[in-house]
Structures are given as structure tokens and as C-alpha cells.
Structure 1
């Protein structure tokens, strides 16, 4: 343990985190919380700045403070960090936390993240465990936890209504997912390269969503592509070999970029398909 550390902090470090409680958490200083946050780092020099100690983390690389001196933003992207992080000690004032492309281990307890958090990026690390997406901060706009070792099921039915981007690709998530109750604010959804299975319902995607990545999973069954939103520019479902259905191009998919479908889908012009459907209905009425 670092010399000169306050005795109260020593007791807190040695205490059972579950028994510590959130009351003690809210009473701790920002400095103490930051010290606990990086206590498992193999090297603290990047996080601690010029002093090479945890005496004043405001001097650390990537740490931005508010006018009142509270931690507002932590950006440790591509800092060659290794060791373990305990994200439950993120100061409650943090609105932005980015730590992509490092070698950090740990878990993500969504219910312990700061209530004020807006941006959370931990792509390309060695994080493990599950994600309870029903317990995310209500202010969250971006959750990027791709390319880790996360696992378990995914409940997408109670995401924050502020969420714009969700990237969980390149993990070990499994089970079925519900795509009919996504927040209307969502623009990008990336869940490719997992072990997700079951059928997928694409009939009620958010009206403004622009990209959906579902490739390299184990989805199966007939899929209804008739009601893709006009905003959708990119839909990737390749290598879901048991997925089938008629793939209806939207105007954005046709003119802005491309859509990759697996070999069991048939690509159809949606406008023509709807016209044909209406014509068939009119014919039935006159029979």
C-alpha cells in the first residue's frame, strides 16, 4: 500500500465493497475515489501525471475538472494501461469516461456507474462479466463496450431514453434479444460477433436509426424486413446462416450505402413490393 495514504482510506480499501455501501461512497472525497479507481493499475504514471503519485490526480493525463474542482471527464484512450480497474469508484460527478484500447481487466456494474454519466467507452480491453442494461444511468447517450470478454444475456427493453449509440460487438453475449422496444433516440446499434440466437424482429426499429450490425451471430428463422425505417443506411446480417426472409431495400440503403445480407435472403425493392401488395389487395376486393 502506498505510504502516506490516509488511515481512513486504508480502512476503506480493506473493507468489503458490498458492506461499504453507497452512503460512504458519496461522503468520500474525489481524490480518495480516484485513488481507489486506479488502485489496481500496474502503473499509475499515466493516470497520475508529472508527480508520479496519487497525491493530486487533477494533474493526471486526460482528467478534466469542473470549475468547482470536481472530476468531470476522464479520457484514457490508448494509454497502454494494464491491471484492473474498479469502476464503482468513478466519482459521482463524472459525465464522460473513455478508456478504449488498453489492457484493463475488471467488471462493469451498471447500477454503480455515476448517475450523471453521458459517455461511457471501454472498447478493446479485457473486461469480463455481464451487463445489466436495465440499470444504466438515465442520462447515458453512448455505451461502447465492444471487443471485451463480456458475457451473459442482454435485456434491451429498458435502455435509457437518451441513448444514441450502443456498441457491444466482439464479446460473448448469448441468448435472444428484443429489438422492438429500443429507445427512439437510438441511431447506431452494434451487436455483431457474439453468440446471440433466436429470431429477430425488425418491424419496430426506432424511426431515426441509421445503422444496425447483427452479423456473425446465431440468429435463425423467418425475418420480416418489410418495415425497416427509411432512415436506415446500413444493416449487416451476414454469416447468420439460418436467417431467412425477403430483404426490402429502403431508399437510404439503396442510395446512401449498401446492406449485406446472408445467402438465404432475397433482396427486393420495397417500393415495388408495397405497390404489388396493394395491387393484390385491390384485386382481391373485386373478386
Structure 2
């Protein structure tokens, strides 16, 4: 009965009031709103059907002030049922880590609405849709994983948070051109494979920290690819999209032939 009341409350917010200020709700209410349309939300309920205190929620960490700091729902076996929708507007502003994977939840991501103190964000293997505005991401982020989704539109590499070390936006519907000249200096891993990026790319100005760049299964096409001279980053790309590879001195570079029609090179 209590949960039924909460469901009506959530519906009235969505249909009548619309967006409201998160500051007007307790963290308990925000978390209840966050999962209110999950198919597997019963994992957060007590035996009498009411939501348990958030300090008791599965893989949710709260601090001494009962503020949610970490949410890690990154696993297939955490919930009894998959599916539903998620509205990330309700993420408490105190959240530093948010991970949700393999839940088959639908929804969109308004990057400007994410908690400003967010450090890790992962929504892989969910049918999230709509555009993803990189420029709206919290500027102190360290890890971004949004692979295997229906997210679409451009992906502006020049707008990534300057503190980012790990970025995976693979197997989605992103498109457009890519500018690798202003990647975050601490970035160590970048996976953009399995999208619809096109045009020509230049890999001559990659950050020294970058160790792995995965950009195969896209739609790049060019006669000549420029890479750097440092030879620190291992790059994996499609074999049939590049005619010739040269370093910044104009010297031709011979890549290694990888499996499944891929090229591997150091750049």
C-alpha cells in the first residue's frame, strides 16, 4: 500500500508538476524517485512494501551525514528483474560514483543535470537514447563509460573534462567527425569503437599518458594518417580505411596486422 502511494506521487510529479528542484526533497525521497520505475525495484523494499532506509540499500554508500556518495549497480545478478526506465535528474547532488550496467533500463542523459562532484559515471549495456552533450559533464570526472547504448549525435572530444583518465563510448550510435588534438592530458584509455564516426582524423597530438586508443568499426576514410613520434599509444583501427600512415617527420610507418581486418600501431 505504501509503495502504491509512492507510485502515484511519482506519477503526479511527472505529469502535473514536471521538473522540481531537487533541493526540496530529502536524499531518501530522491533515491526512491530514481528507482521508482525500475522493474527490479523490490530489492529496495521492506517486507511490508515500503522503501527501506537508503543506508540499507543494495550497493549504495552513504556518508556520516546520510548523504549518498556511491551507487554501484554494475552487475547482472544484483536485481531479480531487468527493465524499466531511469530519470537521472533525481541523482542526489552528493553522488561521486554512479554505475549501472546490464539492467536494460531506458532513459536519456542530461549531462548538465548530473551531480557536479561526480567522479565516475558508467551506464554501459543499457538502451539509453538521445544525445549526449560532452560539454555538460562535471569538470572533475575521472572515468566515463557509456558503451553499448542507443546514444546518438556528436561526441566532442575537445570538451571532455580535463581530469578524465578513462573514456569508453563504444558500440553506440554516435556520429560526426573527431578532433584528437585537445584530449585531456591524464587520459590513459579511449574507446570509441562501433559507432558511425566519419571523415579524416589526425593522431599526431595525442597526450603522452594515452596508452590505448580503440577506434575500429567506424566510417573513417582517408589517404594518409598522421601519427606522433612518441610511439607510446597502441591504436586499433580498421585496416581498409587508411592508405598510408606517416609520423610527424613524414616518415612512413608500417602497422601490425591485427585480427578480423584490424590494424594495430603505435602512435
Q: CA deviation at 1:58?
A: 2.2
Change in Cα spacing, 1:244 to 1:228, as seen in structure 2 (3 Å) is farther
Q: CA deviation at 1:26?
A: 2.0
Q: How does 1:133-282 map to 2 (within 5 A)?
A: 133-227=134-228, 229-232=230-233, 234-239=234-239, 241-246=240-245, 260=258
The list of structure 1 runs, each at least 4 consecutive aligned residues, that deviate by more than 6 angstroms after superposition, is: 6-10, 261-267
SS of 2:38 mapped into structure 1: coil
Q: Do 1:225 and 1:246's aligned partners in 2 also have CA atoms closer than 8 Å?
A: yes
SS of 1:162 mapped into structure 2: coil
2:44 is aligned with 1:63:
no
Change in Cα spacing, 1:228 to 1:17, as seen in structure 2 (3 Å) is farther
Bigger relative CO (Cα 8 Å, ≥ 6 apart): 2
Change in Cα spacing, 1:217 to 1:63, as seen in structure 2 (3 Å) is same
CA distance in 2, matches of 1:10, 1:97: 24
Aligned match of 1:275 = none
Q: CA deviation at 1:82?
A: 1.5
Aligned match of 2:253 = none
SS of 2:159 mapped into structure 1: coil
Q: CA deviation at 1:46?
A: 2.7
CA distance in 2, matches of 1:170, 1:133: 17
- When Rg is computed on C-alpha atoms for both structures, the one with the higher figure is 1
Change in Cα spacing, 1:159 to 1:16, as seen in structure 2 (3 Å) is farther
Q: CA deviation at 1:150?
A: 1.0
Change in Cα spacing, 1:186 to 1:264, as seen in structure 2 (3 Å) is closer
Aligned match of 1:274 = none
Q: CA deviation at 1:243?
A: 2.2
Change in Cα spacing, 1:259 to 1:14, as seen in structure 2 (3 Å) is same
Aligned match of 1:32 = 29
Structure 2: unaligned runs, 5 residues or longer = 248-255
Change in Cα spacing, 1:224 to 1:49, as seen in structure 2 (3 Å) is farther
Cα shift readout 1:227-251 (whole Å, capped 9, x = no counterpart): 154331x210025x33232266xxx
Change in Cα spacing, 1:127 to 1:263, as seen in structure 2 (3 Å) is closer
> TM-score, normalised on structure 2?
0.84
What's the Cα RMSD here?
2.9
Q: Do 2:73 and 2:101's aligned partners in 1 also have CA atoms closer than 8 Å?
A: yes
Q: Do 2:238 and 2:263's aligned partners in 1 also have CA atoms closer than 8 Å?
A: no
> TM-score, normalised on structure 1?
0.79
CA distance in 2, matches of 1:266, 1:46: 45
Structure 1 stretch displaced more, 78-87 or 162-171? 78-87
Structure 1: unaligned runs, 5 residues or longer = 249-257, 271-287
CA distance in 1, matches of 2:126, 2:163: 25
Count of matched residue positions in the alignment of Structure 1 and Structure 2: 254
Change in Cα spacing, 1:13 to 1:2, as seen in structure 2 (3 Å) is farther
Change in Cα spacing, 1:84 to 1:5, as seen in structure 2 (3 Å) is closer
Structure 1 stretch displaced more, 221-230 or 66-75? 221-230
Q: How does 1:18-57 map to 2 (within 5 A)?
A: 18=19, 20=20, 24-48=21-45, 53-57=50-54
Structure 1 stretch displaced more, 2-11 or 145-154? 2-11
